[in-house]
Amino acid sequence: MGIKIDLDELVPGTKHFRWSELLHLPLWGIHVFPTSVQYLHLIDLCKKLEKIRHYLGKPMIITSGLRPSAYNERIGGAPYSAHRQGMAVDFKCAYMPSDEIREILKPLIDDLRIRIEDLPGSSWVHVDLRYTSKGNNYFKP
Q: How far apart are CA 123 and CA 91, in angstroms?
A: 9
Q: How far apart are CA 127 and CA 141, in angstroms?
A: 12
pLDDT at 2: 67
pLDDT at 134: 87
Q: Which of 64, 137, 59 is nearest to 105 (CA)?
A: 137
Please name each of the domains of the chain with its CATH number.
19-139 (3.30.1380.10)
Q: How far apart are CA 138 and CA 106, in angstroms?
A: 7
Written as tens digits, the pLDDT of the chain (141 aa) is 568 899 999 999 999 999 999 999 999 999 999 999 999 999 999 999 999 999 999 999 999 999 999 999 999 999 999 999 999 999 999 999 999 999 999 999 999 999 999 999 999 999 999 999 888 899 988
